[in-house]
Structure 1
Amino acid sequence: MLTMIIDHIGAILIEPLSLTSFLGFNHWETVYLVCRLIGRLAFPIFAFLIVEGYSHTHNFNKYLLRLISLALLSEIPFDLAFNQSWFDMSYQNIFFTLSLGLIAIWSSDRWDNQFLGTLFPLGIIFMAEWLQVDYGAYGVFFIYILYVLRDKRLYQCIAGAVLGFLQLTASLSFILIYFYNGQKGRANFRWMYVIYPVHLVILIFIRHGLFAYIY
């Protein structure tokens, strides 16, 4: 979660500053790059947690509904943060990607026929690209591959790291994932879901105030 917030600070606040010399600092572009590289660690962990969540959930429908509800709740803050628009269908937030990834791995389990069990997830993968969700087909395929290899942790991490090369530092996430012990933490982290839309709203207000001050 922290790496995602750092990534969004880079994209929402630091990238615009890279065009300025705010506070007499001329290296905002470097700060932006560092933020984005740190942020690349987030998606593989989210993808892995979707696989783990699906494997351990007692109520798939409730789990999916929670993800879709958060996707819908977050879309306006997401559009305002990244597209400066109240509603923009050209790019959807990450929780739509995670929802489609969950549907893809669920659909692979619904069929005894291996062909159909592969065909339906592929359909969801192409749908992700058509809907233009964050990470597109790549993101849903990432989740699907982690699920297919869920019982072979080493192979899962190798495949994830190879896919992660497309995001440079994302592969490093699999060092943490490899050593995950499979145990659920003691704390209830469902409250962390609300951090996504809330931190976007906070960053929107900070950007508005910051650039009102600069200009």
Structure 2
Amino acid sequence: MNNTYLKLIALTTMIIDHVGAIFFSFEPNFRIIGRIAFPIYCFLLVEGYFHTRDVKKYSIRLLLFALVSELPFDYAFFGGMNNTHQNIFFTLFLGLLAVHAIEEYFMKKPVISVAVLFLAFFLSEYFHTDYGMLGILYILTFYGLRKVDGLRKVLLMVVFIGILNILLSRGVQYYSVLAVPFIAAYNGKPGPRNILLKYGFYTAYPLHLLILYLLQ
């Protein structure tokens, strides 16, 4: 399974999750299916970090889409502007900073690395970004397991995600381990690559939230 197919699975399950959250809150199966999306996005973020030509541009792109997505996010889930919860792009942005801090500075300047890491944790909780610190730890889990292969990697993903869920979440979030088989099927290949697909996956997030709001 290449990168593009994995993104399509993440996007599809995310939309199912959001449809369930907004229109069918009484039906848990939508939310269970939706738990597949975020771990895949975390995994793809780590892959993106190691394949991007410019980490700075990558981080700026995440931050810009976080800002663009905030109004559709607020209106879709809260019916208007709301500063109590921030969209998933902010979590991914902070996770990218955490990965970069470890990768670039942990061996040379560990104090800076640890400071940035704890800053990412703090900001994710203080601003209530989607998934909060749990999201950062998902990202760091995939970063830490990047060089592990085979069945061992699959088992460790299940164990670490399971432990994080028990410690930092509850209920339906436990089903996020369902993402592991899809991640395990990843073959490391990019799939089709063009600017339309690249920005289409980014744009799909605020666009589908805007559509869901209008449908309400």
Which of the five TM-score ranges fits, normalised by the shorter chain? 0.7 to 0.9
**2:189 pairs with 180, 183, 186, which one?**
183
- Alignment of 1:13 with 2:23, yes or no, is yes
Residue 207 of structure 2 corresponds to: 198
Letter in 1 for 2:204: I
Contact 2:35 2:178 survives alignment (8 Å): no
Once residues 96 and 62 of structure 1 are traced to their aligned partners in structure 2, the CA distance between those partners, rounded to angstroms, is: 15
Per-residue displacement from partner, 1:116-166 (whole Å, max 9, x unpaired)? 433421221122101110001111121122112211143452423543565
> Counterparts of 1:52-201 in structure 2 under 5 Å?
52-85=47-80, 87-111=81-105, 112-114=108-110, 116-153=112-149, 154-155=152-153, 157-158=157-158, 159-163=160-164, 166=169, 167-188=173-194, 189-190=197-198, 191-201=200-210
Q: Percent of aligned positions with the same letter in both sequences? A: 39
5+ residue gaps, structure 2 = 1-10
Structure of larger gyration radius:
1
Q: Point out the more displaced range, 127-136 or 177-186.
A: 177-186
Aligned residues between the structures: 191
Structure 2 length-normalised TM = 0.82
Q: TM-score, normalised by structure 1?
A: 0.82
Separation of aligned partners in 2, 1:163 and 1:92: 21
Matched position secondary structure for 1:127: helix
**Which ranges in structure 1 are unaligned for 5 or more consecutive residues?**
16-28, 208-215
1:50–1:143 CA contact under 8 A, matched in 2: yes
Q: Structure 2: how far apart are the matches of 1:115 and 1:151?
A: 24
Relative to structure 2, which stretch is displaced further, 141-150 or 92-101? 141-150
CA RMSD after TM alignment: 1.7
Q: Distance in 2 between matches of 1:144 and 1:119?
A: 15
Mapped to 2, the partners of 1:160 and 1:187 lie a distance apart of: 30
Distance 2:67 2:123 in 1: 17
Q: Secondary structure at the match of 1:110?
A: helix
Q: Are the aligned partners of 1:146 and 1:160 in contact in 2 as well (CA < 8 Å)?
A: no
Task: Using the TM superposition, name which of 34-43 and 176-185 deviates more.
Answer: 176-185
Give yes or no for contact 1:157–1:178 (8 Å, CA) kept in 2.
Answer: no
